[in-house]
Structure 1
Amino acid sequence: MPLPLRARDAGVTLLVLLVVAVWTLVAAHYSDEPASRTALGWVLILIGCGALYFRRRQPVAVAVVTLLASVVYYPLSEQDGPLLIAFALALYTTAAEGRFAAAVALAAVTLLAVGLGEIRQQPGHRQIDDTSLAMLAGWLISLVAVGRAQRNRVAYLREVEQRALAAEREQEARARQSATEERLRIARELHDILGHSVSLINVQSGAALHRLGKNPAPEQGLATAREALQAVRDTSKEALRELRATLGVLRRADEEAPTAPASGLALLPELVERAASTGLDVRIRAEGTPVALPPPVDLAAYRIVQESLTNVTRHAGARAALVALDWGADGLRLRIEDDGAGAPEDRPAPGSGIRGMAERARAFGGELTARNIPGGFRVDARLPFTFPADKGETA
């Protein structure tokens, strides 16, 4: 676990102070100066090194303090301790904290002050020769450059981290969206399959019970019961087949895939026959030349017809219905009409079945409307033959 920032600053400050103090104590054995100067030198060392603790919060001020402490210390002390280390670290931190202009200015002022000081010295009394002055210039430039490079590196790493976090959040959002879309797709499939089949079973059973309630002859009653049970059996069998196909997306990898054909307009006659078993007169009318639809579009067309007939048998009280297929040049138009009572005019919003049909149509770039017509109700849908590739799995 990394240390807190202030603890690290305190550690660096103590380390620099230790190095400067030990070096100064060693140098004191080879120099002789008044005690007052020695005491003042140690005060400047404490000020210059102690200021480093604040170098991240006030980088420019600390660099100025360490520079002034060095400017006073070196002409005053005979021991020549390495107090300049404190200024070097402060100058580096100034550039690393983004104060590049201030760092350049401090480096230039330092070099200029040292150069002017040496120029004013008498011949033979210079402390720094030209080579050392050039090395000092390179040293200062290097400190500022390395600090700037560290600043850029930290900024780059922070940007990379932010991009990684943004990509992770985007991936999580896409995963949640995909999971939501998949749940809605499965829920829509289950609604269409179970809603249609259970509605037919309910109507068929109710009709049989109604006829049996009239106390027919035993032979007639047995025939009625047999007819109702056969219809219930066929409907439930078809419901189980479609349910297996839908739940196949959730099967484990070691399970066998369903072998039954997927639902589509090819099964439309069977769908109409099951609806007719409830007493509804259903007719199919096709215009144009049929074409092979992509499986997702084929399934969507089948589900729209299925849900429409389910609504007719459950709510419309109709006697007849028409399923019209108009094969155009670029799409299929579906129209399901009935002669029932229609939808209540005061209904605030369409039911979940109609919303599900509209979602299926929109998923493939089509559209669907459902409205009352004179003498009944009509569902009108248009499905194009082509659709966006990323919509192929959302039907």
Structure 2
Amino acid sequence: MTAPGESKRGPVVQDWVLALVVAVIQLGGGRNANLRQTGVHTIDALGYVLLLVGPVALLLRRSYPLPVLLVTIASCAVYLLRGYGYGPIFVSLVIAFISAAIVGSRWWTYPLVPIGYLALVWPLPAIVGHPANPWLAFGMIAWLGVLVAIAEGIRQRQAVLVARRQRAEAARRDAEAQRERRASEERLAIARELHDVLAHSLSLINVQSSVALELFDKKPQQARSALAAIKTASKDALAEVHTLLHSIRNGTSTPDAQDVRESGAERVPESAPGHRDSERAQDNSVDRDNGVAEVRPPAPRSPAPSIEDLDALLQRARAAGLTVDTRIIGTAHKLPSVVDVAAARIIQESLTNVVRHAPGAPAAVTVRYAADSVEITIDNARATAPQSKSGTGGGNGILGMRERAHALGGQLIAGPRPSGGFRVVARLPSQVGAREEAQ
């Protein structure tokens, strides 16, 4: 890595080396050219000073390109008008012009070419008694055209390089923004998955623990059933959390993350093979102290929730004492996994809200199959028991359900019913997977 001081020192050293080389060329070449020409004024102290003005001015060509060009033009004009003859004094003028043409404005730089020709070649030298050779005057026109073409070519090349750097920087920023967006989507997906995994089970545990505490002395048999339901719910919740953590640790996607990507977002690459190998090595550890290879069992994997078997999906809620009626309208058909998981999570979250906010109220789940969509409706009546005041107030359940539906191109509406109670209606497309495979 180059230090800032070194990066600034490099151009300064280059300018000094260039000025020194140009000074040697103009001093040595100018003296030889003066000696070989007839009818010219012998170079004196003023001539040597004029030969050095251009190289010294080149030291400032990066900071003041146009003033340096004007100084070199003036030194060349005085040199020729003094009658020292033509020579390599034009070297510093050429370098100053190219520097000004590349850095400065064309409107200020290019008009100086014809002005310089008129002042240094023809007709001003001829007017003051120093006429130039006609072939030299004609050849200088061609060389000046070549000089302008070279300056313009360098200028265009630099513009292309700048445009490439800008495009590369824009692409880098866009890639960084996409990485941040994908990371944000993954974090949101993990947060929703954790909420759905834990909120449903913990709500049931909370209800059952309240029932167990209330009936422990009066009806121990029912309290025992409530404690058994707590044990089952906590066991299932731990299994689902282990499954989720196992997926995150191995770099595989959670079902919710797949919902986001398969509904149109870009795919996030899975973990590298080396990372997976290290994870497998951690899962299958060896007890070297005892000399016995102990293969740890993999994390428990529970199947993803599905609406194909509503009774199994509603088992926990019914075990918590919630009365849930089901109704299926239309011909049931296989749904894409992302739609199936999202529909099951919406049903679970809706019933969790019933348990939390309307204890004792019966609920009804209706699944309506259509050709290109599936509609899930969850209704509950007014609460028949006083609502619990424990726990926090507003949660993220409805927001999470709405995000799930929108991620798949569907919609979700939740609100009170006119007759009392609450209703959640989610409409999800049933052809998401087909559209993704077609693409």
Q: Which band: TM-score by shorter chain?
A: 0.7 to 0.9
User: The residue matched to 2:339 in structure 1 has which SS?
Assistant: helix
Q: 1:258 to 1:317 in 2, by over 3 A?
A: closer
The structure having more radius of gyration, on CA atoms, is: 1
The match for 1:228 among 216, 223, 226 is: 226
- 1:82-101 aligned at under 5 Å gives the runs 82-101=88-107
Q: Distance in 2 between matches of 1:88 and 1:30?
A: 23
Matches within 5 A, 1:33-72: 38-72=44-78
The change in CA–CA distance for 1:389 and 1:180 in structure 2 (over 3 A counts) is farther
Which of 390, 410, 417 pairs up with 1:366?
410
Which one is further off, 77-86 or 318-327?
A: 77-86
Q: Is the 8 A contact 2:346 2:401 kept in 1?
A: yes
Residue in structure 2 matched with residue 205 of structure 1 by the alignment: 209
**Which runs of 5 or more structure 2 residues have no equivalent in the other structure?**
1-5, 251-275, 281-297, 388-392
Q: Does 1:375 align with 2:379?
A: no
Q: Supply the distance in 2 between the matched residues of 1:244 and 1:9 (Cα, whole angstroms).
A: 67
Shift of 1:336: 0.9
CA distance in 2, matches of 1:93, 1:58: 10
Q: 1:191 aligns with which of 185, 195, 204?
A: 195
TM-score, reference length from structure 1: 0.83
Given the alignment, which residue of 312, 330, 334 partners 2:354?
Answer: 312
Measure how far apart 1:300 and its partner are: 0.7
**1:86-126: CA deviation from partner (whole Å, max 9, x where unpaired):** 1111222232224335544333344455254788899xx97
Give the SS at the match of 2:404. helix
TM-score where L is the length of structure 2: 0.75
Q: Go from structure 1 to structure 2 and tell me whether the alpha carbon gap of 1:34 and 1:391 turns closer, same or farther (over 3 Å shift).
A: closer
Q: Residue in 1 aligned with 2:82? A: 76
1:375 and 1:116, CA in 2 relative to 1: closer, same or farther beyond 3 A? closer
Question: Alignment RMSD, CA only?
Answer: 3.5
Tell me which residue corresponds to 2:253. none
Matched, 1:386 2:428: no
Structure 2 residue aligned with 1:239: 237
Change (3 A) 1:375 1:35: closer
More deviation, 75-84/21-30: 21-30
* Cα distance in structure 1, aligned partners of 2:332 and 2:144: 83
Inter-CA distance 237–61: structure 2 relative to 1 (3 Å threshold): same
What residue ranges of structure 1 are gaps of 5+ in the alignment? none
**Compared CA separation, residues 77 and 257, structure 1 to 2 (3 A):** farther
**Offset, 1:196:** 0.4
Q: Per the alignment, in what secondary structure is the counterpart of residue 375 of structure 2?
A: strand
Contact 1:361–1:383 under 8 Å retained in 2: yes
Residues 237-282 of structure 1 deviation map (CA, whole Å, 9 limit, x = unaligned)? 3323433443343133244797643222134312322111122111
1:321-360, aligned counterparts within 5 Å? 321-341=363-383, 351-360=395-404
Compared CA separation, residues 185 and 300, structure 1 to 2 (3 A): same
290-299 or 91-100, which deviates more: 91-100
1:295 Cα deviation (Å)?
A: 0.8
Deviation sequence 1:296-346 (CA, Å, 0-9, x none): 11111000100011111112123311111111232111111112349x9xx
244 and 335 in structure 1: CA distance in 2 versus 1, 3 angstrom threshold = same
Number of residue pairs aligned between Structure 1 and Structure 2: 379
1:263 is aligned to 2:268: no
Going from structure 1 to structure 2, the CA distance change for 1:391 and 1:197 (only over 3 Å counts) comes to farther
Match among 168, 173, 178 for residue 174 of structure 1 = 178
**Identity percentage over the alignment?**
39
Amino acid corresponding to residue 284 of structure 1 in structure 2:
T
CA contact (8 A) 1:103 1:144 kept: no
Q: Distance between the aligned counterparts of 2:62 and 2:93, measured in 1?
A: 14
